[in-house]
């Protein structure tokens, strides 16, 4: 299937068709369509192709699991992935429709670690982590989310999909474009979630590991919220 940009180029060659070369320049609407198509193509070209080490010894794994996935008010649990029979719960997320859409707590410390606010009419996600607020900014196609990492001294980190048709299959890139974490979604079984894998760069300090985890949860739940909304809309249509 041809992309929107490919179809646009075919219909609007650089020199124009012989019968239309005398036609004035494109209207503002045509230019807007062309700009949107170009942005889509550039965003698509940046997806995939990122290597992630497969050596199990180089990663730390965390299990992310939803309780009551289809409910507007649900709980997300983050546990160790080493022993699923006897997991250790590291974080609990109270996820709901109203702001803040996420409250992330540490059961062991009995403290609220972070809150997350979604802006449904914008491409921004606001995170408050231990009282410090920062934002995740997305491109026009909403495929990537970037932020300035306080735990890494201001380095720009970006969550982006590894596959065009599966936006939840994501990888975290550092400022040099190298993969330092990934999320592998799990779509089967009675509960939804996935596995978050972290390379050593993510756990050099507790602050770094917690920041990566909180941001990952924010992006994961935002994408799941979009998926649920789309599914509910199709059912009610």
Instruction: Provide the residue ranges of all domains of the chain, joining segments of one domain with +.
Output: 4-45, 56-234
Q: Among 43-47, 60-64, 118-122, which stretch is predicted with the lowest mean pLDDT?
A: 43-47
Q: Is the pLDDT of residue 44 over 50?
A: no
Q: Are strands 155-163 and 111-118 parallel, antiparallel or unpaired?
A: unpaired
193 near 62, Cβ under 8 Å? no
pTM for the complete prediction?
Answer: 0.77
Please state the φ and ψ torsions of residue 24, each to the nearest 5 degrees.
-60, 170
pLDDT of residue 107: 96
CATH of 56-234, one of 3.40.50.410, 3.90.1070.10, 3.20.90.10, 2.60.40.1730: 3.20.90.10
End-to-end alpha carbon distance in the chain: 26
pLDDT at 43: 44
Task: Tell the residue number behind the tokens 């429709």, with chain if given.
Answer: 97
Question: How do beta strands 74-80 and 60-67 pair?
Answer: antiparallel
Q: Which residue has 């022993």 as its token pair?
A: 83
pLDDT bin (cut points 50, 70, 90) of residue 13 is very low
Give me the phi and psi of 202, to 5 degrees please. -80, -20
Q: What angle do CA 155, 159, 164 make, to 5 degrees?
A: 145
pLDDT confidence tier of residue 3, bands split at 50, 70 and 90:
very low
């Amino acid at each position: 299937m041809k992309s929107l940009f490919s179809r646009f180029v075919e219909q609007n060659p650089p020199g124009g068709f012989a019968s239309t070369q005398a036609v004035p320049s494109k209207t503002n609407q045509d230019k807007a369509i062309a700009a949107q198509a170009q942005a889509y193509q550039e965003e698509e070209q940046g997806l995939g192709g990122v290597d992630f080490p497969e050596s199990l010894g180089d990663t730390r794994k965390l299990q992310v699991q939803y309780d009551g996935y289809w409910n507007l008010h649900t709980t997300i649990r983050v546990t160790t992935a080493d022993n699923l029979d006897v997991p250790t719960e590291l974080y609990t997320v109270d996820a709901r429709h109203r702001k803040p859409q996420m409250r992330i707590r540490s059961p062991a410390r009995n403290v609220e670690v972070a809150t997350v606010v979604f802006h449904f009419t914008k491409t921004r996600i606001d995170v408050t982590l231990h009282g410090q607020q920062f934002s995740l900014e997305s491109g026009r196609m909403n495929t990537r989310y970037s932020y300035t990492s306080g735990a890494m001294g201001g380095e720009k980190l970006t969550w982006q999909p590894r596959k065009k048709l599966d936006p939840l299959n994501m990888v975290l890139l550092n400022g040099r474009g190298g993969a330092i974490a990934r999320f592998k979604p799990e779509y089967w079984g009675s509960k939804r979630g996935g596995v978050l894998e972290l390379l050593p760069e993510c756990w050099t300090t507790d602050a770094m590991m917690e920041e990566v985890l909180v941001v990952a949860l924010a992006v994961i739940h935002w994408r799941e919220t979009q998926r649920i909304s789309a599914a509910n809309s199709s059912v009610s249509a």
